[in-house]
Chains A and B, each alone.
Chain A
Amino acid sequence: MSADRREWPLYEVFVRGKRGLNHVHVGSLHAADDAMAVRHARDVYTRRNEGVSIWVVRADAITASSPDEKDPMFAPSGDKVYRHPTFYDIPDNVPHM
């Protein structure tokens, strides 16, 4: 058997845990379209919690800061595919939703 011909696209999920906080990147998921992505985000990342706000965005719609040649850590590594840059680091001590 082979990998699916058309895999559902990857979405990044951002959740506002409670009022007064920013939306924070919590993870990613696959969905066929935007509406399904919101539903999946609710089921996977908020587990039925009411009163939170969810943003989803297709991973391939995200534009990353351009690599800076002054910093070798940002050097592009040729043919590597970076489908999924993670911009918003969650510090270890931030309580989860």
Chain B
Amino acid sequence: MNDEYAGDSSQWAFGTGFEDPLAGVDTTVPPGVDPAELAAYCLMLGDDALIMSQRLSEWCSRAPDLEEDIALANMALDLLGQARLLLTRAAAADPGVVPVLPEGSPVPAEDALAFFRDAEQFRNVRLAEVENGDFAHVVVRLLLFSVARLAVLERLRTSPDQVLAAVAAKGVKEVAYHRDWAGRWFLTLAQGTEESRRRLEAALDALWPYQAELVAPRPGFGVDPATVRDEVDAVLDQVFAVSGVERPDRAPLPGTGGEGAHTGALAALLAEMQVVARAHPSGRW
């Protein structure tokens, strides 16, 4: 054991997708793109992934079976990987978004963004932040989340920003699997037992008011989520139809996380997530 292991994540036993998704990618901000808008867009996508990953990782050691424990951790790791690339891109495009730390602090930009912003500065959708519930809750949350995210990422593969395009290309493969996982479990719980159906419907009912926000209009740089609404609706309707579940009739929550509207759950989540990093603002990890 020696220093040769420091700094390079590639040899750790997480995943085997060791190739660098940004290898050979042009990292300059393309002409005609406003760096501040690009950064804001990356923060939104990155915060969604980060907060969702944090909630998924809370399932670790609590899943219904070992196989599902491993599956949930894989999905949390996928999203965490996306978050890191996106937060790093946001910081590179517009260093002004990165919180200022004490002189000489070795904390990298991705960590300054993750651990040193307060709740109102996060741009994630509220669907990602609400507290975990039962297994039906994580299935519904992942279904709603990944159907919308996949549709957006698919279009981002042709983004003028080469970094965003590369991150999207990698993310599409991952999120397609998440959507498949959630869709299959949705069907299974809908048609499993009376209890599983009851729990699934309760989770869908509770989370539906957060769905509209995933496809709310967002003008400016990047793929506007509103442009994928029809596709998202069609996919969800198909899942509902196959499962024999009614589309819930509940009004959407006003506001969006992208504008800084959050539930109390986000502050509580961040209090836990940030506690060690904030106790050591000049720490090395």
By a beta-carbon cutoff of 8 Å, the part of chain A in contact with chain B is 8, 29-32, 35-36, 39-40, 43-44, 46-50, 97
Contact = CB atoms under 8 A, between A and B. Distances in A.
A43 B16 contact: no
A1 B41 CA distance: 51
A48 B65 contact: no
Contact of B16 (A31, A40, A44, A47): A47
Given A30-B67, A31-B67, A48-B17, 11 more contacts: A30-B65, A35-B184, A39-B71, A39-B180, A40-B70, A40-B71, A43-B71, A44-B67, A44-B70, A48-B77, A50-B17
Given A36-B184, A43-B74, A48 B16 contact: yes
A93 B65 CA distance: 31
Interface string B167-192: 00000011000001100100010000
A50 B173 contact: yes
B67 A49 contact: no
B133 interface: no
Contacts of B77: 48
Contacts of A35: 184
Nearest to B185: A36
A40 B68 CA distance: 7
B15 interface: yes
B78 interface: yes
Most buried by A among B15, B70, B184, B188: B70
| 8 closest residue pairs by CB, A with B | A49-B16, A40-B67, A43-B71, A48-B15, A43-B70, A43-B74, A44-B70, A47-B15
